[in-house]
């Protein structure tokens, strides 16, 4: 019997090619479109192909739903439209809550964990399907006898960062077909050869529930306290200006403050209790390390013989660490401080360590795991 796989088909070229590659490999493929938002009465299961056009470059639009159905029909595979609207509301709420706490959220990580893979596995288990697949640019490899996620082969396209929170027990059931391809053009070429209309469809760029990139509008629509006005202060605490909502800013931001200091200034801290936004110079962004919570380790972490763990202390190891999606990575020491917490000490100070973002840990071309940045720390404040 052919191995069965559910493929999350978003209506884009990457997931379409993922489904096509698995079909070519002999899998029994079912395409699943995850409907994350309500589109209104024009979108129905029977009339999806007549859905209205959308100019948005985000995912999960009526056009995406129509494209997903057409992709399944072209490939000759079964198609399921699965509503995840209620689950998705929790992602939006978490997004708003983070801004209200003075953090800068990364909803894509949470969506991958809770919805894209969470809902896919629920459906797979209910149907007796062994595997699930997506169009993510990443790979599943063998790491010291364990299934693990590794960066994609395509330069500049790796998406492993946003996959750190997937539970380790699910990794042996996940397939990332396009992660094996050498570049994006190879993906588009395959789609074109197959006659898929989405071969030249633009990539999604924005957070799908903030399609124009203006997240302040979303905060306004929810009457968020993150738009409470307050003061700009300098690093000494002196008031240097006024702002109309601390949620409009993020650590490291340079533009949009309206502060005329005669030299470049940056957002270095956000205090949600007082609504103060601290402005400083570039050096003020530097941090020696960070603390993180919400840890998820997908493989057993490497522990060197001379680490403190071997001497009865906390587990520690050397690794490469990414503190944002487009970060190239930095050498660091990672110290596990609790069941769900860890600290990071960078070999060289890094700029703009941002609470709310994911910190993801790599070693030997393997994603070990990660967590959520709680706060930055320097030598005088760190417990390291």
3-class SS of residue 345: strand
The single residue of 35, 108, 208, 366 carrying the catalytic annotation is: 208
> Among the residues of the chain, which ranges form H helices?
13-24, 62-75, 85-100, 107-111, 117-127, 184-193, 215-221
Chain-centroid distance of CA 313 in Å reads 32
Q: For residue 142, what is the enclosing H or E element?
A: strand 138-143
**Which residues, 6 or more positions from 96, have their beta carbon under 8 angstroms from its beta carbon?**
218, 219, 222, 224, 226
d(CA 217, CA 196): 35
* DSSP β-ladder status, 276-280 and 230-234: parallel
d(CA 178, CA 189): 12
Under 8 Å between Cβ of 7 and 133: yes
d(CA 165, CA 360): 9
The single residue of 59, 60, 111, 377 carrying the catalytic annotation is: 111
Token pair 């702002």 is found at 243
Residue 59 known to be catalytic = no
Token pair 């939006």 is found at 92
Under 8 Å between Cβ of 206 and 213: yes
Under 8 Å between Cβ of 3 and 28: yes
**Which residues, 6 or more positions from 210, have their beta carbon under 8 angstroms from its beta carbon?**
58, 217, 218
Q: What are the φ and ψ backbone dihedral angles of 56, each rounded to 5 degrees? A: -65, 145
Under 8 Å between Cβ of 341 and 293: yes
Report the 10 Å Cβ neighbour count for 220: 14
Conformational region of residue 305, where left means phi above 0, alpha means psi within -120 to 50, and beta covers everything else: alpha
57: DSSP letter:
-
Residues annotated as part of the active site: 111, 208
């Amino acid at each position: 019997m052919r191995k069965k796989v559910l493929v999350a088909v978003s209506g884009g070229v990457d997931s379409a090619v993922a489904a096509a590659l698995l079909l070519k490999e002999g899998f029994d493929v079912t395409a699943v479109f995850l409907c994350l938002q309500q589109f209104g009465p024009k979108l129905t299961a029977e009339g999806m192909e007549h859905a209205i056009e959308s100019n948005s470059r985000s995912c999960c639009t009526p056009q995406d739903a129509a494209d997903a159905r057409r992709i399944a029909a072209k490939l000759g595979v079964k198609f399921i439209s699965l509503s995840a609207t209620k689950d998705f509301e929790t992602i939006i709420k978490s997004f708003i809550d983070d801004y209200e706490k003075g953090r800068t959220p990364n909803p894509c990580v949470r969506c991958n964990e809770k919805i894209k893979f969470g809902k896919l596995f629920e459906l797979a288990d209910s149907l007796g399907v062994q595997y699930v697949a997506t169009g993510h640019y990443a790979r599943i490899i063998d790491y010291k006898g364990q299934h693990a996620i590794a960066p994609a082969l395509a330069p500049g396209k790796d998406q492993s960062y946003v996959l750190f929170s997937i539970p380790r027990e699910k990794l042996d059931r996940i397939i990332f077909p396009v992660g094996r391809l050498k570049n994006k053009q190879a993906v588009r070429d395959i789609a074109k050869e197959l006659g898929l209309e989405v071969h030249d469809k633009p990539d999604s760029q924005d957070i799908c529930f903030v399609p124009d990139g203006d997240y302040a509008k979303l905060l306004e629509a929810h009457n968020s306290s993150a738009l409470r006005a307050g003061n700009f202060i300098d690093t000494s605490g002196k008031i240097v200006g006024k702002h109309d909502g601390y949620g409009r800013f993020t650590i490291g931001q340079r533009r949009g403050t309206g502060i005329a200091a005669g030299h470049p200034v940056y957002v270095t801290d956000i205090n949600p209790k007082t609504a103060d936004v601290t402005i400083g110079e570039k050096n003020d962004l530097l941090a020696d390390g960070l603390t993180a919570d919400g840890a998820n380790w997908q493989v057993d972490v490497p522990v060197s013989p001379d680490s403190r763990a071997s001497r009865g202390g906390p587990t520690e190891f050397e690794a490469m660490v990414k503190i944002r999606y487009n970060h190239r990575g930095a050498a660091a020491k990672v110290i596990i401080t609790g069941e769900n917490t860890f600290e990071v000490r960078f070999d060289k100070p890094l700029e703009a360590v941002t609470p709310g973002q994911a910190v993801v840990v790599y070693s030997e071309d393997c994603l070990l795991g990660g967590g959520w940045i709680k706060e930055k720390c320097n030598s005088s404040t760190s417990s390291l």
